[in-house]
Structure 1
Amino acid sequence: MTETTNQLQTTPSQTVGPFFAIGLPWEDGWLVVPESTPGAFRVEGRVLDGNGDPIPDAIVETWQADPDGRFDHPDDPRGAVPRKDFRGFGRSATDVEGRYGVLTVKPGPLPTGDGGWEAPHLNVSVFCRGMLIRLVTRIYFPDEEANAHDPVLNSIDDPAARNTLIAASAPFGYHFDICLQGEHETVFFDV
C-alpha cells in the first residue's frame, strides 16, 4: 500500500480569448466616414500593456457625435439625426505592433444636463484577452479651448492623469496611445 500526499497546486491561469477575429473586426470597420470625406483625418495609436509592450489582439471601438454634436441614435435627447456618409462608430483591430486606427471627422460639442457643454471627444471601448469587461475611455483633441470647461476632464484632479485623455496632433490627424496599466495608464471610466 502506498501513501499519498495531498499537495495544493496552483490552478492554471486562463484568459478570455483571443476570440476577436471570429466576428468583431470587419473590413471597413475603421471607416467612421468614407475616405473622400472633406475634413476627414485619422486617429491612430497603440494599445500597450503595463510594461509598455504592444497588445497585438485588441479591438478598439470609437463612438462619436457628428460635426454638429448630434447622434443618429434614439438616446439623443434632442432627437436622432441621420447624417449621410457618417456612421459615428468605428472598430479597429490592433496589429502585431498593437497599432489601431480610425478615419473620422471632428465631432461637435455636446450639451450637458445642466446647460453646459462637453468638449468634442471620441468615446472609446477597448476589448482584449484577459479582460472580462471592456475598458471605456475618451479621446479629446489638443486644440480645443472647450477642454478647459469639460465636466469629465475637470472631474479628474491629477493633471498628468487628465493628459492621458488628450491626443497629440500628428501629420495624419491625431495620435493616441492607450496604456492599460502602469505609470502612464490611460484614465478609464466605470460605466
Structure 2
Amino acid sequence: MAQSLDRQKETPSQTAGPYVHIGLTPNVVGIAGVYREDLGSSMVEDGTRGERITLIVTVFDGAGAPLRDALVEIWQADAEGFYPSPAERRGRADPHFSGWGRSAADMETGACLFHTIKPGRVPMADGRLMAPHISIWIVARGINLGLHTRIYFPEEEEANVSDPILARIEHRARVATLIARRGADAYVFDVHLQGDNETVFFDS
C-alpha cells in the first residue's frame, strides 16, 4: 500500500544569511585552512588570451545603500566567444581561463572585485550573435532566490543594439541598467534591487 504523502510539508525558504560566506568564501571571513584560496577568486593565468579587465560590482538595496554582505558569481565566455565546457575544450576554449568567478562584497564598501578578460561574442542556438557580456548571480540578505542578470560593455554600441536578449526588453529605457560604466581602471556595474534604477533581472 502506498504511503500517504500529505504529512510532508515544504521547507520554508530563507535568505542566504551569513552562512553563505562561511561555506563559499571561508578565507574572506577568516576561516583559514579550508582552501588555499577561495574557489572562484582567480579566473586568469599567465597564458590567458584576451584583454585583461577589472570589474567592480556593487549591489544596492531599495534605499540606495550598498549590501556589504552580498556575494556575486560571474560566468562568461573567453576572448574568442567559447565557454570552458567539456564540449568547447576540444581545442577551442582557452584552457588558461576558468570562465567563472566568485567574490564576496567588501565589508566596508560593498564592492565585489573581479580580475578577468573581456569576453567575445557568443552565438545563440539560431546563430545570431549576442553582444559581449558577462552573466552574474547575486545572493545577499533579503534575497530568497539568487538573482540573475547580465553586464554589457558601453563601447560595444553596435553589438548591443543587435543583441537578441537586449532586444527583448520592452521598456527600452531600462536597457541602460545592464550597461557597465568605464572608469579609469575598471568597469563599474551597479545592481539596484529596487527603485527608479532597478536593474533588469532574468528568470535564468
- 1:15 and 1:71, CA in 2 relative to 1: closer, same or farther beyond 3 A? closer
Structure with larger RCO (C-alpha < 8 A, sep 6+): 1
Cα distance, 1:148 vs structure 2? 0.7
1:162 aligns with 2:175: yes
d(CA) in 2 for partners of 1:106, 1:99? 19
d(CA) in 1 for partners of 2:125, 2:165? 13
Cα distance, 1:176 vs structure 2? 0.4
d(CA) in 1 for partners of 2:47, 2:126? 37
Matches within 5 A, 1:1-191: 15-25=15-25, 27=37, 29-34=40-45, 39-74=51-86, 81-96=92-107, 97-144=109-156, 145-191=158-204
Cα distance, 1:90 vs structure 2? 0.6
Unaligned runs of 5+ in 1: 1-13
Cα distance, 1:35 vs structure 2? 7.3
State the identity %: 45
User: Hey, what does 2:11 align to over in structure 1?
Assistant: none
Q: Normalised by the size of structure 1, how large is the TM-score?
A: 0.84
Cα distance, 1:34 vs structure 2? 3.4
- 1:94 and 1:35, CA in 2 relative to 1: closer, same or farther beyond 3 A? farther
d(CA) in 2 for partners of 1:118, 1:33? 23
Cα distance, 1:75 vs structure 2? 6.5
Q: Normalised by the size of structure 2, how large is the TM-score?
A: 0.79
Q: Which is greater in Rg?
A: 1
d(CA) in 2 for partners of 1:118, 1:79? 22
d(CA) in 2 for partners of 1:181, 1:80? 43
3-state DSSP class of the match of 1:164?
A: helix
Aligned partner letter, 1:175: V
